[in-house]
A and B are shown apart, each in its own frame.
Chain A
Amino acid sequence: MTSPAPLLTLDRVSKRFAGHTAVHELSLSVPGGVVYGLLGPNGAGKTTTIRMIMDILQPDAGVVRLFSQPSGGRTHSERIGYLPEERGLYRKMRVRDVLVFLAELKGMDRRLARDRAGEWLERLGLTEWAIRRIDELSKGMQQKVQFISTVLHDPDLVILDEPFSGLDPVNTQTMKDIVLDLHRRGKTILFSTHIMEQAEKLCDQLCIIARGRKLVDGTLSDIKRTHGGHHLVVGFDSNTGGAAQVFADKALVSKVDNYGQYAELELAAGADAQQILTALVVSGARLSRFELQEASLHKIFIDLVGPDATRTEVAPVHA
């Protein structure tokens, strides 16, 4: 799956703002054709990272490489589609004019942009709104116009910053469809989110950052294998027997959420699920469920990031 030359790499990229470090020596590598998730809690440095990729901000240190060149997004703007976290369009402009204008800025031919805009508007059911002003559109429709503007010039790399935030369920689905369609057509998608369920469904590869530093990156399955730990779900059929003692054995179980008739366990390092099963049966517990589970991305994320993840490092401000 990994192509020899990654489409996008960050090599020890850092960005400081007055008083705090937003991104610290972040390195990552996005191969062509994947859906790549940049995950992290709020304030982790996701948007700053994306802005550095897009050439909106210049890194203080480190190199951004796109399409095998040591240059940021502006040089390749005709090959990149970018949807920023905070969205907006010219309120007084007509829908089609906005789309054509933004596509032209990306280097697209005017007439082609016009035709393509027409096709996209039709696809998303906005044809009759083409010559209306943006501020006549509902919020949902404006969001659709914004998606179109991101992909109108048929970019090879699409960068979406929190693409699902603020979307209604219908538009969330539309957005997902667009992402998956792009993926099918071999495009590369990089998106940031703090909602793990979405990342889990969409990503092939991901990178988790917190406080500007990388915690882990790789393919979703690798990360789950190495960081998932062993997660066990146990259900009881009326009689829990001596289960509580079994759970308390630190040699077998490192962590437990015991709900009485139902418990979630974390296996201790080196322990085997089979040992626990035996111990439970011996203790006289009647089991209705015994299941070894892969940890959810959400859980891995929480474990890695910890509860104080959103705290940013604040250094004294130098005048």
Chain B
Amino acid sequence: MHKVWVVVRREFVERVRSRWFWLMALVGPLFFGAVFILPTVLAGGGGVKDIVVVDATAGPLGRRITDSLNAGRVFAAVRVPVGGRVLDSLTSEVERKHLSGFLIVTDAAVDSGRAEYRGSNVSGFATVRTLERVVGEAVTAARLERAGVDPRVVAAARIPIRLATQRIAGGTAKGETAGQSFSLAYFMGIILYTAILLYGINVMSSVLEEKTTRIVEVLVSSLRPFQLMMGKVLGVGAVSILQFLIWGIGARLLLARRASPLAASDAMSADEVFQVPHVSGATLAIFMAYFLGGFFLYSAMFAAVGAMSSTEQEARQAQQPVAWLLVLSFVSMFAMLNDPNSTLAVTLSLVPLSSPIAMPVRWAAGSIPGYEIALSLVILAVSIVGVTWMAARIYRVGILMTGKRPNIKELVRWIRTA
């Protein structure tokens, strides 16, 4: 056991001493922050959009729409009566990027609910949604007035709805908004994916280094290959825990300092899709349990990949199947976010190769029965033992092999006979 400890300590000390580690400690949060915030920024389109409302109505509908567009923060709208070659000149304005787009409103809109928007970026999610909401409200008001409702009553009836969603877990409402749950799940998914991949590849290159420098021969004459592999995995795992601690403490300090000005300012200004979630102890425990589980599972595979390769290039190629397993679990996260209790989501959170990402994501996105978590963890633990056993056999043969990379048939023989 002492020898395993010596290996763990070397892996840990050498890594923590490296510039790479401290770069990650600093740049990591920036990276995650960017991944986290970028989609919102991109979806929001950044800044105010100049648009023109082409008013083909006889009544006040066009004016109303223009006013309420200008009341929001997304658009700066100008009303232009329809006529002549107005559409052509507006089109060329859009092409010259002087305008984001223009909205065509006709009287028919009141009956059909249809309006037309032509713009350079029609697919902008936030743009279209805001336009729909504004036009919809104006049309509703117009219809009500047409039916004889007092315009003042209509105005008074137009109360903006803000749905307060609370997640129920363990029989109590947690006081988290849907937005918070979503962003927590999204955030955890990204960190889990990145960290498992990153540290798994760390284990791989460490194995490869010992193999290519041939120092492994001296090592395995002093301790068993399995001890060496375990020491390596545990050492890199310890580095990852330290990295998380640094990030966690850093985030805590930052959030604590930011909390007061944030509360004072308009809470709305924090974007509505991504919100800083409340992270409970249970969530942290789930996160760490599945991170470590996933890390052990995948790093055993990465260790085997390192052992069966002779050069960096070979390893880069050979690690692709393993990395793809991880990518697949990551991508399926988006399906799970929509419906955390779908059959797909439940299956993915039980299958050991995907559960390290799927289960924490589901946990953050919705409530999960305790037995499911227990079952998923048991399956994961058993798989870790099985995969490590196989990986260790490949590792044992592979680290002393030079030359050609083994094919699947040879690998199976290594596992059977090692």
Contacts and interface: CB of A to CB of B under 8 A. Distances in A.
A105 B223 contact: yes
Contacts of A90: 14, 209-210, 213, 215
Contacts, number: 64
B217 to A, nearest CB: 4
Contacts of A77: 221-223
A74 B220 CA distance: 8
Interface in B1-42: 2-3, 6-7, 10, 14, 18
A82 B221 contact: yes
Contact of A74 (B217, B224, B400): B224
B219 interface: yes
B214 to A, nearest CB: 4
A82 B382 CA distance: 38
Interface of A: 51, 54-57, 73-74, 77, 80, 82, 84, 86-93, 97, 101-102, 104-107, 149, 319
B213 A91 contact: yes
B395 to A, nearest CB: 13
A170 B285 CA distance: 59
14 contacts: A55-B220, A55-B221, A56-B217, A56-B220, A56-B221, A74-B223, A77-B222, A77-B223, A84-B217, A86-B217, A87-B214, A88-B215, A91-B213, A92-B18
Nearest to B2: A107
Contacts of A73: 221
B234 to A, nearest CB: 15
A105 B6 contact: yes
A294 B6 CA distance: 52
Nearest to A47: B217
Sorting the interface of chain B by its residue count into under 10, 10 to 19, 20 to 34 or 35 or more gives: 20 to 34
B213 A82 contact: no
A73 B221 CA distance: 7
Contacts of B222: 74, 77, 102, 105-106
Given A74-B221, A92-B14, A105 B213 contact: no
Contacts of B163: none
Given A90-B209, A101-B6, A104-B6, A82 B218 contact: yes
A90 B212 CA distance: 10
- The listed residue with most B CB atoms (<10 A of its CB), out of A77, A80, A102, A105, is A105
Nearest to A54: B221
Interface of B: 2-3, 6-7, 10, 14, 18, 209-210, 212-215, 217-224, 400, 409
A90 B211 CA distance: 10
Instruction: State the 5 A-B residue pairs at the shortest beta-carbon distance, nearest first.
Output: A88-B213, A54-B221, A86-B214, A105-B222, A84-B217
A102 B228 CA distance: 13
Contacts of B3: 104-105, 107
A90 to B, nearest CB: 6
A84 B400 CA distance: 12
A93 B17 CA distance: 10
Given A74-B224, A92-B18, A105-B6, 8 more contacts: A56-B217, A77-B223, A82-B217, A84-B218, A90-B210, A90-B213, A105-B219, A107-B2
A40 to B, nearest CB: 19
Nearest to B399: A56
Nearest to B7: A105
B220 A89 contact: no
Contacts of A93: 14
B403 to A, nearest CB: 12
B12 to A, nearest CB: 12
Contacts of B214: 84, 86-88
Nearest to A105: B222
A255 B107 CA distance: 120
A60 to B, nearest CB: 11
Contacts of A92: 14, 18
Nearest to A87: B214
Contacts of A86: 214, 217
B3 to A, nearest CB: 6
B135 to A, nearest CB: 63
A286 B218 CA distance: 60
A74 B226 CA distance: 13
B213 A89 contact: yes
Given A101-B10, A319-B409, A89 B215 contact: yes
B225 to A, nearest CB: 9
A202 to B, nearest CB: 22
Contacts of B6: 101, 104-105
A80 B222 CA distance: 9
B9 to A, nearest CB: 8
A57 B397 CA distance: 9
A52 to B, nearest CB: 11
A149 to B, nearest CB: 7
A74 B221 CA distance: 5
A105 B219 CA distance: 8
Contact of B218 (A55, A149, A319): A149
A90 B208 CA distance: 11
A93 B217 CA distance: 18
A168 B328 CA distance: 53
A319 B413 CA distance: 9
Contacts of A55: 220-221
A89 B10 CA distance: 13
Contacts of B213: 88-91
A172 B202 CA distance: 37
A61 B6 CA distance: 33
- The listed residue with most A CB atoms (<10 A of its CB), out of B7, B10, B223, is B10
Nearest to B228: A105
- The listed residue with most A CB atoms (<10 A of its CB), out of B6, B209, B212, B409, is B6
A8 to B, nearest CB: 14
- The listed residue with most B CB atoms (<10 A of its CB), out of A51, A57, A86, A101, is A101
A319 B408 CA distance: 12
Contacts of B14: 90, 92-93, 97
A90 B218 CA distance: 12
B398 to A, nearest CB: 13
Nearest to B206: A90
A51 B400 CA distance: 10
B18 to A, nearest CB: 8
B228 to A, nearest CB: 9
